[in-house]
Structure 1
């Protein structure tokens, strides 16, 4: 894999993250526009002299079906957002890219969530956010535990990949480096590479150097 191919791969990953964020932005903006259009009309009929709790109860009682729909949509949207943010952190940790870009994407999603809180439903949206975050976190922990169990199947010195053939040694090194940087078990299994030449072509043998306990 040449240097140009490596850069193309990196740019493709960046464009994918931007494209995904664009989809989330459209979903969030569409949701907020529809929600506040409904909210503005429904809030008009609420007695403003009531306490916050009574306002919330009357608001939900008078608009139960619509409220449940917006709660469900918010729960789905915030859960997908948490999953997306998790993968942002995961890809940044494995293959660091612009920190400014990462912070921008996080702040943008945080803004959408904040805009959901500035209304009578804010407390309920906050509770849904906590529950959603807890579910995503629990699933991540279960996934990590399963990965740790799978890592026990590897042994030091075991070959996990052979890249090639390549015309030049540099191309073989770049391909091996890219594979090692995108290795899914990078946190627990440390890889190393060894280049060799065969039939006038270069190959990169990637093997397990150490397993972190």
Structure 2
């Protein structure tokens, strides 16, 4: 029951965060395209797209610059959460259609900014946001790998105790090993009776699978 409740709570947080992002995107797109349609009305449509973009920016630089900054922030947050969900909750995305639809909608919101005369700048911002997210996740993975390979075989990583009985110590062993998530690192344990007549458990690195 507790596991089911925890899963529902986590999905609830996902719905809440994604719902907020969807709401912010809707407000942003409505505001931007309302501004864009009014400003673009005065641009000479006979000009090339590049000249139209320069003219649009020249006439509305301050407002457009703010929209560019907001777009970059929204793209970065959206891509970050999308990548995070994909990497951590692949199963939930395939099983829960509503989460998958929200996930797709977030990505479509980024692409919705490419259907205007400033599409080239928005495309550059999207690439920059994607590059930033890629760098962040790469650095996180490198940090995790570094922590894993900082261990050496035979190194004691934790000591549990004191326990009044060997049975209590064995229960602690099962609990600790049940929470261990590093698949590349195999743990060993040693239960022993110390000088104070209390039981302790040493957890050490038995092997590292590289």
In the alignment of these two chains, the number of paired residues is 189
CA 98–57 in structure 1, closer or farther in 2 if over 3 Å, else same: closer
Q: Which has the higher contact order (CA 8 A, sep 6+)?
A: 1
Gapped regions of structure 1 (runs ≥ 5): 163-171, 197-204
Q: Which residue is equivalent to 1:73?
A: 70
**Which structure has the larger Rg?**
2
Output the aligned Cα RMSD: 3.2
Q: Which residue is equivalent to 2:50?
A: 53
Map residues 11-160 of structure 1 onto 2, 5 A cutoff.
11-92=8-89, 96-101=91-96, 103-155=100-152
Q: Which residue is equivalent to 1:211?
A: 208
Residue 191 of structure 1 deviates from its aligned partner by: 6.2
Partners of 2:57 and 2:64 within 8 A in 1: yes
CA 122–161 in structure 1, closer or farther in 2 if over 3 Å, else same: farther
- In 1, Cα distance between equivalents of 2:113 and 2:106: 11
CA 76–148 in structure 1, closer or farther in 2 if over 3 Å, else same: same
Q: Given the two structures, how large is their TM-score scaled by the length of structure 1?
A: 0.74
CA 103–173 in structure 1, closer or farther in 2 if over 3 Å, else same: farther
Partners of 1:56 and 1:121 within 8 A in 2: yes
Gapped regions of structure 2 (runs ≥ 5): 161-172, 192-201
